[in-house]
Amino acid sequence: MNSIMDNFFTSKESIKFQKNKFREYYTTSKTELPDRFGRREFGFVFFGGRGMMRHLSFNRKINLKNFLTERAPAHAYYSTAYYQTPDAQTMQEKNWMGAELIFDLDSDHLPNADKVSYERQLELVKEEFYKLVNDFLLGDFGFDEKHIELYFSGGRGYHCHVKDPKIFGLDSSERREIVDYITGRDLKDSILFREHVTSTIKIRGRTVPSEKALIMPKPTEPGWRGRISRGVIDIIDEIKRSEDPIEKLKEYGVKKNAAEKLLVDLSEERLKRIKEGKLDQSKTIRKFFLNSALRKTAVLMSAGETDEPVTCDVKRLIRLPSSLHAKTGLKVVGITLDELKDFDPLRDAVVFSDDSVKVDLNQNVHLKIKEEKFDLKQGENEVPTYLAIFLIGKRLANIS
C-alpha cells in the first residue's frame, strides 16, 4: 500500500474541492477559541502550500473567524504557551509566560500500528488515552478534572490539556520527569519488590538464608507498586484462560522458544504462589513479569526512545479546537472523560454532507464511517462527500 501512496499525487481538482469544502465548513460553523486566546501564537498550513505560516495572533474572535473563512487552511494550530507578545517573530521576543501541560497520543506510537486498520488504530490509542487520563493524571497525580480538557485530534489520536495553574511554570526537564513516571522509564524491580527470606540454614553457628522469595506489593497499593502487581495478576489470568498460551506469550513479545521454556517454569504451583504475592526468584520469570506488566500498565507516549514527547515542549503548537484535519476531513472534537468510552471519531467527528461525489480510487478500500460500511473497488466510485474528503486526505483517491 505504501508504494502506491508514495507514487500518488493529489490532483489540483481534488485540492480545490477540499479547500472549498473547508471554506464552507468555516463559514457556517461556530469558531471555538482557547482561553486567553489573545496571548496565544497561531499557525496555519495551507492547501497546496509548503511549510507553516506562524507568529500570528488574534485579539478578537471575529478576526480569527474571518481568517479561517477567507484562507480555509488545511491545518490550524495555536500555542500551548502564553506570551506577552505572541505575534513577535522570534521566540525570545514573544516573552514566554507559561504553558499548559500537553499530552499528545497518536496511533503511530503503538507497536505494529501499521498492521491494523485505521479504525482499530483509533480504538487502541483510545485505550491508551483513557489509561493516561484516568489512571495517571486523575489517579496518581491527583489533578482535578476541571483542569483537564480532552480532544480527538482529527487524525490518529487524542490530546489532553492540563490547565492547572500549578504546572504553567514547569520547564522542559520538569515535564520530562512527569513523562518518565507515566511511561515507567527506568523502573527497577528492586524498587517494586522486596526480598523475603523463606528458609534458613546454620553455617558455623550462624543462621544464613537458604531460600528467598520476592514479595510483590499489594494490588491496592498506590502508584506503580500497586499498578505492577495488578498487571502481573492480570497477565497470569490471561495466560491461564488462554487456549493457546504460547501465542498469548508471543503477544507480550516473548519468542517461541522462550515462551515454551517459560510455560514449563510456570507450573500451577508457581502461578499460585505468584498470585499470592510471592514472585519467583527465577530471573526469567522476574524479567518477564516486570517487563510485561510494565508494557501493560504504562502509557506509550512516543514512537521510540529518541522521540521527544510533545509534553516536554513548552512552546508547542497544537491543533485548534473545532478545526479540521486535512488528512481526514475530521473535526478536532472536545470530549469529557465520561464521553470518551463511547466516542467514535468516524461517527462523531464527521462534519461533511452525504451529497454524492465521484472519485477515482487508487486501491480497494474497506471502511466503516458514519455508521455505514463501504467496500469500494479500485477505480471510479460514487461516495458521500464526507468519505470523498477522507479518501482524498488519505491520498487514496482523486476527484474523477
Mean pLDDT of 49-68: 95
**Least trusted range by pLDDT, from 103-112, 158-167, 336-345:** 103-112
Q: What mean pLDDT comes out for the span 79-88? A: 97
Q: What is the pLDDT of residue 346?
A: 97
Q: Could you report the per-residue pLDDT of 172-196, keeping only the tens digit for each? A: 999 999 999 998 888 877 667 777 7
pLDDT tens-digit map of 352-374? 999 999 999 999 999 999 999 99
Report the alpha-carbon distance of residue 36 to residue 33 in Å, rounded: 9
Name residues whose C-beta falls within 8 Å of residue 206's C-beta, 6 or more positions apart in sequence. Answer: none
pLDDT confidence band for 306 (50 / 70 / 90)? very low
164 catalytic per annotation: no
Identify the pLDDT of residue 222: 87
* Pairwise CA distance, residues 245 & 139, whole Å: 32
Instruction: Pinpoint the residues of the chain covered by CATH 3.90.920.10.
Output: 30-182+304-350
Range 1-25+353-400 has CATH code 1.10.3910? no
Instruction: List every span in the chain annotated with CATH 3.40.5.
Output: 1-25+353-400
Our answer to whether residue 307 is catalytic in this structure is: yes
3-class secondary structure per residue, 75-144: EEEEECEEECCCCCCCHHHHCEEEECEEEEEEHHHCCCHHHCCHHHHHHHHHHHHHHHHHHHHHHHCCCC
Mean pLDDT over 63-89 rounds to 97
pTM for this entry: 0.86
In the predicted model, what is the mean pLDDT of residues 100-105?
Answer: 94
The overall average pLDDT reported for the chain is 89
Q: Which of 106, 114, 171, 348 is catalytic?
A: 106
Name the active-site residue from 114, 171, 237, 307.
307
Q: How confident is the model at residue 213 (pLDDT cuts 50, 70, 90)?
A: low
DSSP run (H or E) holding 376: strand 372-376
Catalytic residue among 87, 104, 338, 375: 104
Decide if pLDDT at 78 tops 50.
yes
Question: What pLDDT score does 113 carry?
Answer: 83
Residue 290: pLDDT band with limits 50, 70, 90: confident
pLDDT at 304 over 60: no
CATH number of 30-182+304-350: 3.90.920.10
Active-site residue, 104 included: yes
Query: In sequence order, which ranges of the chain are alpha helices (DSSP H)?
Result: 2-6, 12-28, 61-71, 91-94, 118-130, 172-183, 189-192, 223-241, 245-251, 256-265, 268-275, 283-297, 337-340, 345-348, 385-393
